Amino acid sequence: MSHKHRITILAGDGIGPEVMAEAVRILAAVECTCGFTVARTEHLVGGAAIDATGHPLPPETLQACEKADAILFGSVGGPKWENLPPDLQPERGALLPLRKHFGLFANLRPGICLPALTHASPVKQELIAGGFDVLCVRELTGGVYFGAPKGRHEENGEPVALDTMIYKKSEIERIARVAFTAAMGRKKRLLSVDKANVLASSVLWRETLIEIAREFPEVELSHMYVDNAAMQLIRRPGSFDVLVTENLFGDILSDELAMISGSLGMLPSASLGTCNSNGLAFGMYEPSGGSAPDIAGLGVANPVAQILSLAMLLRFSLGEGAAAEAIENAVALTIQEGFRTADIATGLPHETQVGTRAMGEAVLARL
């Protein structure tokens, strides 16, 4: 049976367009070999949209996303737009509204350090021998990012600013189920990260995780305070399997995880809404790294994170698991055979240093 899917491509700023071009070529190749079609439309977002229309998330872009099964996102932002009012900046004016609008509460951020790339990690080699594979599940539409009240006022002539860290039990339950389900497909170990020794929202978080654990008796649940988790991640990354945490803690820990993996340019991410009856969810898929304005347009950026984001999209939103696996295997083979973009090159003899296009070609040839 041949399926017809629809996606919206938002390449954005910086290296976004050049790495997206490689992902799109890979998509065309798996369409042919795996027997499905993906109708795709490309739209403006971020700084590129500001320059063209004055807004980082123009209405036509949002409408195009509403008609699609998923969004393949590049990256947004850059120095050119940094001094605009907050709501008109690429990150806060496009990324956060997209997450909220589509209810993308579950953010999956894999932090994988392949054995072949451990030397690219800034962590001492003896601490990461053999590499590691951690999945960070971050709550993405709640907590202090969106909690009310929020804002600034004056008290006795002095400026005061506040944010509210707030969670409803139902919000914790649904992200917990996503994390437990992910753990079931892996080593069945789930670490919940909170600050239950200080924060009321964390106490509810921990209670709820313990309750939901009863639905997943095979998964071993443990808890850690976020400050300790930040330390343990560097000290023994190999001991983690799946980590679940609230929005702000997840923002911070997922950057730490990306850094210690030594390959930010390799890491994809998925932001998912509620699953339908087929187990598929609307989602937005983007590289974990940013728009990297310093190397934009030079043809040296690593396209792997964008290509692996496409693989996640195929798996979680389109149900094309075989195509996703084919892409992931082709990427693994490409790395194994020594192809390296500048970010992961270390000058070892078996390495071939290549640019964005050639890296895409190498993956394409191994599909």
Distant-in-sequence contacts of 202-209, Cβ < 8 A, 24+ apart: 202/246, 204/167, 204/169, 204/172, 205/167, 205/172, 205/246, 208/169, 208/172, 208/173, 208/176, 209/172, 209/176, 209/244
Helix 304-316 crosses helix 321-336 at what angle (to 10 degrees)? Answer: 160
CB of 32 to ligand IPM, least distance (A): 33
**195 in active site:** yes
Residue 2 corresponds to which tokens in the numbers above?
Answer: 């041949």
Contact 21, 54 (CB under 8 A): no
Question: Binding mask 251-290 vs Mg ion (x if CB under 5 A, - otherwise)?
Answer: x---------------------------------------
The entry of Mg ion, ligand IPM, none that residue 275 binds, CB within 5 to 8 Å by partner kind: none
The per-residue b/e assignment along 327-338, b for 16 or more CB within 10 angstroms, e otherwise, is bbebbeebbeeb
Q: Does 281 bind ligand IPM (CB under 6 A)?
A: no
Q: Does 256 bind ligand IPM (CB under 6 A)?
A: no
Strand partners, 138: 107, 245
Question: Tell me, what amino acid is at 45?
Answer: V
Of 213, 272, 224, 273, nearest to 249 by C-alpha is 224
Contact with ligand IPM (CB under 6 A): which of 31, 42, 91, 361? Answer: 91
CB of 290 to ligand IPM, least distance (A): 8
Contact with ligand IPM (CB under 6 A): which of 31, 163, 173, 251? Answer: 251
CB of 35 to ligand IPM, least distance (A): 34
Site for ligand IPM, residues 190 to 249, rule: CB under 6 A: none
Catalytic option among 145, 194, 241, 343: 145
Classify strands 270-275 and 106-113 as parallel, antiparallel or unpaired: antiparallel
CB of 276 to Mg ion, least distance (A): 28
| Interacting span for ligand IPM (CB under 6 A) from 88-96, 186-194, 214-222, 337-345 | 88-96
**227 in active site:** yes
Q: Does 163 bind ligand IPM (CB under 6 A)?
A: no
Site for Mg ion, residues 213 to 252, rule: CB under 5 A: 251
CB of 96 to ligand IPM, least distance (A): 6
CB of 109 to ligand IPM, least distance (A): 8
Site for ligand IPM, residues 92 to 131, rule: CB under 6 A: 95-96
Write out the DSSP string of 261-293. HT-GGG---EEEEEE-TTS-EEEEE--SS---G
Distance in angstroms (rounded) separating the CA atoms of residues 21 and 299: 11
| HSE-CB of 286 using CA atoms within 13 angstroms | 26
| Residue 167 DSSP label | -
Catalytic option among 13, 195, 241, 343: 195
Distance in angstroms (rounded) separating the CA atoms of residues 343 and 222: 35
The entry of ligand IPM, Mg ion, none that residue 91 binds, CB within 5 to 8 Å by partner kind: ligand IPM
Nearest residue relative to Mg ion (C-beta): 251
CB of 95 to ligand IPM, least distance (A): 5
| Interacting span for ligand IPM (CB under 6 A) from 4-12, 89-97, 166-174, 195-203 | 89-97
Task: List the strands of the sheet with 106-113, edge to edge.
Answer: 37-42, 4-12, 70-75, 281-285, 270-275, 106-113, 132-139, 242-245, 189-194, 220-225
Catalytic option among 51, 87, 227, 294: 227
Under the rule (CB under 6 A), what is the footprint of ligand IPM?
91, 95-96, 251
Under the rule (CB under 5 A), what is the footprint of Mg ion?
251
Active site residues: 145, 195, 227, 251, 255
